[in-house]
Amino acid sequence: MAVIELAHYGPDFNADPYPYYAKLRETGPVHEVIARDGDPFWLVVGYEEGREALADPRLSKALATMGYESSDEAIMGPHVLTLDPPDHTRLRKLVAPEFTARRVERMLPRIQRVTDELLDAMGPSGSGDLVDALAFPLPITVICELLGVPLADRDTFRVWTNEIVAPTTPEGQRVMTVELCAYLDALIEDKRKAGPTDDLLSSLLRARAEDGDRLSAAELRAWAYVLLIAGHETTVNLIANAVRCLLAHPGQLAALRADFGLLDGAIEETLRFEGPVETSTVRFTREPVSYAGTEIPAHRTVLISLASADRDPARFPDPDTFDIRRSATEGRGPGHLAFGHGIHFCVGAPLARLEARIVLRTLLERCPDLALDPAAGAYDWLPGLLIRGVRALPVRW
């Protein structure tokens, strides 16, 4: 099997990677790949193989599997994206109760108020960037309030997180990580001195498991880091991608406007068709592993293309069609891998779905003639393989 060099793919791969993924799937569900920076890895592009790999205990999240130390972990502390059981199990257990569906639903009134305030600020008519006006400020407001981060620091967070999830340079990513972690250290120390409040960071400072276990200072910083990044950056692009897909498919938009009972289906179809996370975070083979007859040697880096898996025709009929009724007509539920699968399934999935549900319905109800701005030109797509989205979404209303 030939090694795939991403550098040979043109700039349109970033704008529309799906035809490339389709060609890869035609020749097999697993490929050896050379990244644009020259680093080798193995890419899983098939749905069944991707689902298996996401939950495969033979794949480790710890860089120590490769015999290296994690520079990111040295900066931010151990976190769930770089740990295996039992360490992963322990950390997730201490935080997961804060993200149950019931607890998240209690946030609905506040999310609705923030959405209304942002739409009020947009005015009854006009034009502008929907990412800047709505898709970014809503999730960052929600996650900052949840964690107890001052909203005055919102714009600074945007600079940090944009460079971390879609880096322009490796050094820029590292600098932003160091700055964000230093900020979180100071914030946590302030909360420790101030005493109990009702925000999540304060709760995690006090949280103890039944056996008396609690988060260390480094673990708390790392959790705050992960929740801030994953808790808003992915939701920003879920909201923007959903609006972009609906506006690009007027028949689907009309169906949704006529029946908001299709709203959950529209969100799930966005997650499948144009999800905010293009590939999983890295995993490493502990031993040789095989998927669909292709062996990946031990101590290799593995990425699962969620974007490709969720367009696999072996799982989704007519996968390149955006169909907000898909889950109901197929009768098998969402089935997509946009939030992952297995023990690393996204802990914030209920919050992301709730925010998307509220903002999409409110936006469409209050802006009945919402449309893409025809004078805007080509999209500026986020770089890299991790986050799938655009930097700006110019619209008129």
| Long-range CB contact pairs, 245-251, < 8 A, 24+ | 245/269, 245/270, 245/273, 245/274, 245/322, 246/360, 246/364, 247/370, 247/371, 247/372, 247/395, 248/322, 248/372, 249/322
Distance CA 201, CA 209 (A): 16
| Residue 367: φ, ψ to 5° | -125, 75
CATH architecture of 4-388: Orthogonal Bundle (1.10)
Enter the DSSP assignment of 61.
Answer: S
0.85 surpassed by pTM: yes
Distance CA 195, CA 193 (A): 6
Strands 4-5 vs 30-34: parallel, antiparallel or unpaired: parallel
Distance CA 288, CA 297 (A): 4
pLDDT at res. 331: 56
Structure tokens at 319: 């996968």
pLDDT at res. 220: 86
Burial 147-161 (b: 16+ CB within 10 A, else e): bbbeeeeeeebbebb
pLDDT at res. 146: 85
- Between the CA of residue 346 and those of 61, 246, 316, what are the distances in Å? 15, 25, 22
pLDDT at res. 8: 85
Side-chain half-sphere exposure of 29, counting CA atoms within 13 A: 23
pLDDT at res. 264: 96
Domain boundaries along the sequence of the chain: 4-388
Q: Which amino acid is at 69?
A: E
pLDDT per residue of the chain (397 residues) written in tens, 0 to 9: 688 888 888 788 999 999 999 999 999 999 999 988 888 999 999 999 999 999 999 999 987 777 766 666 667 777 888 889 998 998 888 788 777 778 788 899 999 999 999 999 999 999 999 999 999 999 999 988 888 888 788 778 878 887 887 788 888 888 888 898 899 888 888 888 887 777 888 888 876 544 556 778 888 888 888 888 887 889 999 999 999 999 999 999 999 999 999 999 999 999 999 999 999 999 999 999 999 999 999 999 999 999 999 999 999 999 999 999 997 666 565 699 999 999 999 988 999 999 999 999 999 999 999 999 999 989 999 988 999 999 999 999 9
Cα 90 to chain centroid distance, Å, stands at 23
Structure tokens at 89: 């199990």
Which residues, including other chains, have CB under 8 Å from residue 28's CB and lie 6 or more apart? 1, 46, 292, 294
pLDDT at res. 59: 97
Using one digit for the tens of pLDDT, what is the confidence trace for 168-227? 888 888 888 889 889 988 888 888 888 777 788 888 887 654 455 677 888 888 888 888
